Amino acid sequence: MVNRRGASEFLARWPMAVAVAAACVALSAACAGDASDANGRPADGSALYAERCASCHGADLRGTGMGPSQLSIVYEPNHHPDEAFRAAIRDGVSPHHWDFGPMPAVSGLDDDEITAIIAYIREVQQREGFEPHPPD
């Protein structure tokens, strides 16, 4: 049986235990690699792609006159792994599969935002499948 003093101490410490548990959950999510923006909110790869990539690669990832389709078979993970996308976004890239000009680096994105963009591209690739190269 718990006496009144023990119950009072337990109730007094309960908010602290809840706060510690919440901090542990947040820390484990951060360590698991969840992408987040500078304010700690989850980075939205779809919105970032629309803002920073779609003008050249198309809102539907199928390319434009300025950049290739991200659904081309040449961008499947075994040919262009995530690190290739990361390097292209971070550093720019010279054309090697296409007749488009060089892709400049995309400035102003942090690692979590780049990760979110890549995850979004991979999600759409998985959902839509890949197109032949060169496109028909």
pLDDT (tens digit per residue) in 28-66: 333 333 455 556 666 899 999 999 999 999 999 999 999
Nearest to 128 by CA among 74, 71, 70, 82: 71
**Domain boundaries along the sequence of the chain:** 33-128
Q: pLDDT band at residue 19, thresholds of 50, 70 and 90? A: very low
pLDDT (tens digit per residue) in 65-113: 999 999 999 999 999 999 999 999 999 999 888 889 999 999 999 999 9
pLDDT (tens digit per residue) in 103-133: 999 999 999 999 999 999 999 999 999 999 8
Q: What is the CATH number of domain 33-128?
A: 1.10.760.10
Give the residue carrying structure tokens 């690699």: 33
DSSP of 77-90, one letter per residue?
TTTS-HHHHHHHHH
Give the residue carrying structure tokens 């659904």: 71
